[in-house]
Amino acid sequence: MEVGGSQDVLENKNEENDFEKNGSSDPVVYQLVRVECDGTLVPATDDEVLQFEHFLHDEKVDLPSIEDEGHVEEFFTKDCMLLKKPDLEAGSSKLETTEVQTQKLDADLEEDRVRPSDDPLHLPSKCTVVHNQQIDILNTEQQDNNIFQQDNASTKTTKSTVLNYSCSAEKEKADACSRPVNDTSTRPFVSEVTSSVPDFSILREVCLDNLTIRELQEAFRATFGRQTTVKDKLWLKRQITMGLTNSCGVPNSGCVVKDYKIVGKDAKQEIPATEGVPKVELEATSLARDQALDTGNERDLLSSSYYHGEDQQGSSKRLKRVPTDNDEPQGTLLAEQGTAKRIRKPTKRYIEELSDIETNDSTGKLFSPGKRPAHDEVLRKPRVTPFREIDSLSTTYPTRKDTLGGFSVHVPYVPRMRRGRPRRDFIPFLDHEPSVECTEVQTAVEMMLEKDGEQGNHASKAVEVPLTKNAEKKGGHIETTDSKEVQTVQANDFCSADAIPKIKRGLKRKHHRAWTLCEVLKLVDGVARYGAGKWSEIRRLAFASYSYRTSVDLKDKWRNLIRTASQTQLHTEKDRACPRKNNPYTIPIPPSILLRVKELAGLQSQAGDLVVPIKLSGQSSKVVQGKRSGFL
């Protein structure tokens, strides 16, 4: 069953939009919802979903451990929160850990949600990801690393935008939590993290309740090795506690951490440190449930639903893991090592992103929906699914064939993803474009062949290549990208993002075609006949043979002509003095033509609505001695 579930992940997701559904199915589904002030959940809008998707995606794909906390934090600060709805059927055993973690996390999140005003950062409405069902992700053929990614991919397809952030996050969290101080596991990031983790031995016994926010933050830092800007005491406490105890079953309040154990101040319960990490966590969780430890209402809700499902799968799902609860981290370590999965090495990107996020966060500058999101979002997008996939396969980008100046070449292909303002700071990917080399030749040829209009039309239009491969994803993702400026979750796009736009750019740019004298003449004539502004007409009638000149081109050219004409006139004499100024590469336009252009321009502007074209039967430039030519 599990397996089947996993396979159907995507499908399930699609179908599980409605979080009302119970967790009868295995798949874990996250739905993005908005939590209103009153705590009600409202389905997120596409935009919101979009945002989250990115965010989530990032998280999942490359985020390793501990940092998760940070992310979550970010989440909050951004007024977004991840909520998992635990209809619980634990997925496969593997997943379980995650699941459990998730549960806990959710609890935390919920907690946060419940206490909106605690933190200034919390805004009235929030975005929440609801976890509808458990997905047996782990069973998927993809291994840990890929799982989330895959998940994302599938998610994207869904318009409903089901997000499964918690999964990874949870997982990570689990890792973090379970990670013992001396964890020497082979996991790359783990070691890394570990190193950064200050010895919280000093925190072995602490009563978090007595700490100030600042102290808590400090403790947080000590525990997770990273700074936090969260000012939510409760949250901090919980995080810290969890971190120290490797447990997620942390009461909302009144608890003391003792030797990696949580000691309920209220004497409610004592949660054994779950060294077994996730797995153990599960146990712990269940335990907690039994004990009805937490006072949190939301918690109860969660647990109820959560456990609801659990009963069925209960034993089977649970890790076979022996409940050997060693309070000792070491034990945890061993256990961890024994566990095959949960190995995800941090991506550089991830790291950067993370830091970036933090940076931003610390800045205290919550991104304002207005501006930057536009770019960032777009930029980020690409990396999300399609590209990722590609990336993993081979670091190459998809290419398409294009003909430039008669040369057939492969150019990186990227589907057009946005319609918003283009990014300007990208580094031209054009260098790639073969057209450069060909250009000279071609232009030269063209010059000589001004007549044959049809020539070289190939280059002009980039063919819309159906991206079959990315189709699905695109549908879900890229497409959505178009949505205006959605406030993006984060602005850290720099790494992956910028690459995409460039590519696209390069592809699209039409081959440059120098205007020939002949064309200019025709243009001028056309303007004279039909009037400036009738570009389509002119193009149709006068440029019938030059298919590569669009009305826009004509317009642009005309504009340039006017510009040069005016300049030339003024500086005619000067030009002689400074011949260098004349661009040798531009075709010198005979003064006569310029003159005429000028006149026409003047007439046009003057006439205003006197659109009536002046009939110049004669081709000679001089002919047009407009009555008003004097004006200019």
Q: Name the site residues for DNA (rule: CB under 7 A).
A: 418-422, 424, 505, 508-513, 532-537, 548-549, 551-553, 555-556
Neighbours of 21 (CB within 10 A): 17
Say if strands 205-207 and 126-134 run parallel, antiparallel, or are unpaired.
unpaired
- H-assigned helices in 478-550: 478-481, 494-497, 499-508, 517-530, 535-542
Among the listed residues 60, 199, 31, 209, the one whose alpha carbon sits nearest the alpha carbon of residue 128: 31
d(CA 449, CA 452): 6
Residues 6+ apart with CB under 8 A from 27: 5, 6, 8, 9, 12, 13, 16, 91, 133, 134, 135, 136
Collapsed DSSP state (helix, strand, coil) of residue 120: coil
Q: Give the C-alpha separation, 602 to 596, whole Å.
A: 10
CA 334 to chain centre: 37
Residue 311 or residue 454: which is nearer to DNA going by CB? 454
Judged by beta carbon, residue 466 or residue 630, the one nearer DNA is 466
Min dist CB 621 to DNA, Å, is 23
Distance of CA 20 to CAs 43, 134, 311, 554, 607, Å?
11, 14, 19, 59, 68
Contact criterion met (CB below 8 Å) for 99 and 28: yes
Here the tokens at position 287 are: 């335990």
Which two structure tokens, joined as six digits, stand for 618? Answer: 């004669």
Please give the order of strands across the beta sheet that includes 270-271: 205-207, 255-258, 261-264, 270-271
Q: Would you say 215 or 537 has its CB closer to DNA?
A: 537
Min. distance of Cβ 630 from DNA in angstroms? 23
Given CA atoms 100, 73, 179, 349 in this order, what sign does their dihedral have? Answer: positive
Minimum CB distance to DNA, residue 439 (Å):
10
Which residue, 83 or 378, has its beta carbon nearer to DNA?
378
**In the complex, least distance from residue 458 CB atom to DNA, rounded to whole angstroms:** 12
Q: Residue 14 and residue 9: Cα distance in Å, rounded?
A: 8
H/E segment holding residue 53: helix 46-62
**CB 514, min distance to DNA, A:** 8
Query: Measured from the CB of residue 450, what is the shortest distance to DNA in angstroms?
Result: 14
Instruction: Output helix, strand, coil percentages for the chain, rounded to the nearest 5.
Output: 55, 10, 40
CB 118 within 8 A of CB 232: yes
C-beta of 419: minimal distance to DNA in Å? Answer: 5
Q: Which two tokens stand for residue 253?
A: 């309040």
**8-state DSSP, 246:** T
How far is it, in rounded angstroms, from Cα 127 to Cα 566? Answer: 57
The H or E element that residue 32 is part of is strand 28-35
**Minimum distance from CB of 556 to DNA (Å)?**
4
In angstroms, what is the minimal distance from the CB of 492 to DNA?
22
In angstroms, give the least distance from the CB of 247 to DNA: 50
Based on the number of CB atoms within 10 Å of its own CB, is 395 exposed (0-12), middle (13-18) or buried (19 or more)?
exposed
Planar angle of CA 615, 618, 622, nearest 5 degrees? 95
Nearer residue to DNA within complex by CB, 131 or 418: 418
CB of 499 to DNA, least distance (A): 16
Cβ proximity to DNA, 33 vs 486, nearer residue: 486
In the chain, the amino acid numbered 84 is K
Q: How far is the CB of 559 from DNA (least distance, A)?
A: 7
Give the residue with the Cβ less far from DNA, 320 or 424: 424
Encode burial over 398-432: b for 16+ CB neighbours within 10 A, e otherwise.
bbbebbbbeeebebbbbbebbebeebeebeebeeb
607's tokens: 């006439």
**What's the closest the beta carbon of residue 195 comes to DNA, in angstroms?**
45
Closest CA to 230 of 114, 56, 112: 112
Rounded CA gap, 515 and 327, in Å?
80
Considering the complex, what minimum distance in angstroms separates the CB of residue 190 from DNA?
43
Closest CB to DNA among residues 270, 450 = 450
CB of 386 to DNA, least distance (A): 19
Work out how close the CB of 529 gets to DNA at its nearest, in angstroms, rounded to a whole number. 13
